[in-house]
Chain A
């Protein structure tokens, strides 16, 4: 499933934040995005629960673009395009 999205969208980096609690999951996502180039895509793997409730929302507020949300069992894959700002 992830390989497929990677091929079609071109994922530059991937972090597995399953098991990483809030707000560290968002902090790590944010830091990784800061190191990337505008337009590059980061794949983030998140748990169900607080993580999926909070991280996408923070990504959106921060101005990045979520391209795809894919459920993987009870977890989620998020494809985030880094934007300027």
Chain B
């Protein structure tokens, strides 16, 4: 990609497509560097710093979506900057109406709460879809658990790590720790002194599994909750939950299917959430069902207390009716 960035200054749109953002200062641009999941090697970080000092004003801005941006670059220095960044493998990000670099939390690699490998998935998604055109911008993010630090509900397509706990009875010492750590009243002590799960209340955070000292609470299924149609900006839109426990190997297919539905139904300049509200969410749910099957969320799922608890108060009430698809 970087080798492709032979840059002859063109229109503002062309510049933005390449990750070059015109500034209010004439002749100056901001260069947005690609960093899927906000992850950089120290070599790349160092080179970004050197380039900022050499060609910019010695400052770097971290964009809201985790891209390091180097402001105050002279249009004339574009080729040199791209080449010097490219020497250490630092590519340029993108702006405009297309698939944007994926964001992600630290994920399960070293974060104690992470359930899924968000870093690897954001890298893979960016590698596969980066720069592909869509009716409007298309932002994806990967959260490793339901704490949702990267805000799936505000992304066009968000994946949120989730785990369904199961009880290995033979290991349980009846200590009640799992019941204490659950903040969602999804576990109660049964008559036989064994914890009883209420899956309609379980928000799949995995706290009970992580707390249990005796390997009695174990992971039954791990996967991704899928949220589609979110955005921030002037006219914010909260994403709708559309699927749960989607396995790792289906994630890229879900991205592809969503982009494909979006291209088919979206008008130029229309974000995914707005397309849902104009065309009907069920059209998309139907397309998604072909891929995820039973993992598609239905009306009955959305009525469960867990979904009401993980959305901002009252918001779940505003969801469109989920029809039979």
Which of A59, A61, A65, A70 has a CB less than 8 Å from the CB of B175? A70
> A53 touching B211 by the CB < 8 A rule?
yes
The chain A residue with its CB closest to the CB of B214 is A66
- Chain B residues near A66 (CB, 8 Å)? 213-214
Check A18 for interface membership: any CB of B closer than 8 A.
no
Among B173, B175, B176, B181, the residue within 8 A (CB) of A53 is B181
B213 lies within 8 A of A71 (CB)? no
CB distance from A5 to the nearest CB of B (A): 12
* Known contacts A61-B112, A66-B213, A69-B213; A56 and B177 CB within 8 A of each other: yes
Residues of B within 8 A of A60 (CB): 210-211, 213
A68: Cβ under 8 A from any B Cβ: yes
Within A63-77, the residues touching B (CB, 8 Å) are 65-66, 68-71, 76
A11 in contact (CB, < 8 A):
no
A53–B180 contact, CB under 8 A? yes
C-alpha gap A69/B175 in the complex (Å): 6
> In the complex, A44 Cα to B258 Cα: how many Å?
51
Interface membership of B282, Cβ < 8 A? no
Which B10-37 residues have C-beta < 8 A from chain A? none
- For residues 159 through 218 of chain B, which have their beta carbon under 8 Å from a beta carbon of chain A? 173, 175-177, 180-181, 183, 207, 210-211, 213-214
Report which B residues bind A (CB closer than 8 A).
Answer: 112, 173, 175-177, 180-181, 183, 207, 210-211, 213-214
Complex CA distance for A76 and B176, rounded to whole angstroms: 10
In the complex, which of the residues A48, A65, A66, A69 has the most CB atoms of chain B within 10 Å of its own CB atom?
Answer: A69
Within the assembled complex, what's the spacing in Å between the Cα atoms of A59 and B177? 14
Which of B112, B181, B213, B214 gathers the greatest number of chain A CB atoms within 10 Å?
A: B213
Give the docked Cα–Cα distance between A66 and B178 (Å).
14
- Residues of B with C-beta under 8 A to A70: 175
Assess the B177–A52 pair: CB atoms within 8 A: yes
Q: Across the interface, which residues of A come within 8 angstroms of B175, CB to CB?
A: 68-71
User: Are A56 and B211 in contact, CB atoms less than 8 angstroms apart?
Assistant: yes
For A80, give the chain B residue with the smallest CB separation.
B213
- A69→B112 CA distance, assembly (Å): 22
List, in ascending order, chain B residues with CB within 8 A of A56's CB. Answer: 177, 211, 213
| Residues of B with C-beta under 8 A to A32 | none
A28 part of interface (Cβ distance < 8 Å): no
Question: Which residue of chain B has its CB nearest to the CB of A71?
Answer: B176
| Interchain CA distance A53-B113 in the complex, whole Å | 13
Q: Which of A52, A61, A68 contacts B173 (CB 8 A)?
A: A68
